[in-house]
Structure 1
């Protein structure tokens, strides 16, 4: 397993990390790993497709209005 060393971290960030770790019942090192894991996961391309699929499932069967109709209505209101 690789190791990371982070230098020159400001005291405010260190205090925030310690408080977050304590609130989550983890060590600072474990909290740091969790932050990195979450960042990696949130930027994964597959995450987009999973979220898109959930959104499609949530909105399935809903009535939609084509955008050109909405634009036309907005233009006519002026």
Structure 2
């Protein structure tokens, strides 16, 4: 197994780790191992906006929309100043 040293860890972070480890009945070292393992094994979040929004709101059930057929052909936007 590999060993890891963490330098310049803020004292308040160390204290929060100590308290979290105590709440979970583990040593600080075991707690840090659990946190790191969880962080690198969770599924990656979507990288594009559509996927992120779909995942975020999937639990709401979505919506079925009736989209009417186009009456006119689509045209390019006109950005000339008028």
TM-score by length of 1: 0.58
Cα RMSD of the aligned pairs, angstroms, is 3.1
Q: How many residues align?
A: 58
Segments of structure 2 that go 5 or more residues without pairing to the other structure are: 47-54, 69-82
Q: 3-state DSSP class of the match of 2:9?
A: coil
Correspondence list, 1:8-19, <5 A: 8-19=8-19
Change in Cα spacing, 1:36 to 1:67, as seen in structure 2 (3 Å) is: farther
After TM superposition, which residue ranges in structure 1, 4 or more long, deviate above 6 angstroms? none
User: Rg bigger for which structure?
Assistant: 2
- In 1, Cα distance between the equivalents of 2:17 and 2:10? 11
SS in 2 for 1:17: helix
TM-score, normalisation: structure 2: 0.56
TM superposition shift of 1:24:
0.0
Larger helix proportion, structure 1 or 2?
1
Aligned to 1:32: 32
Cα 1:25–1:68 shift into 2, 3 Å: farther
Cα distance change, pair 7–67 in 1 and its aligned pair in 2 (3 A): farther
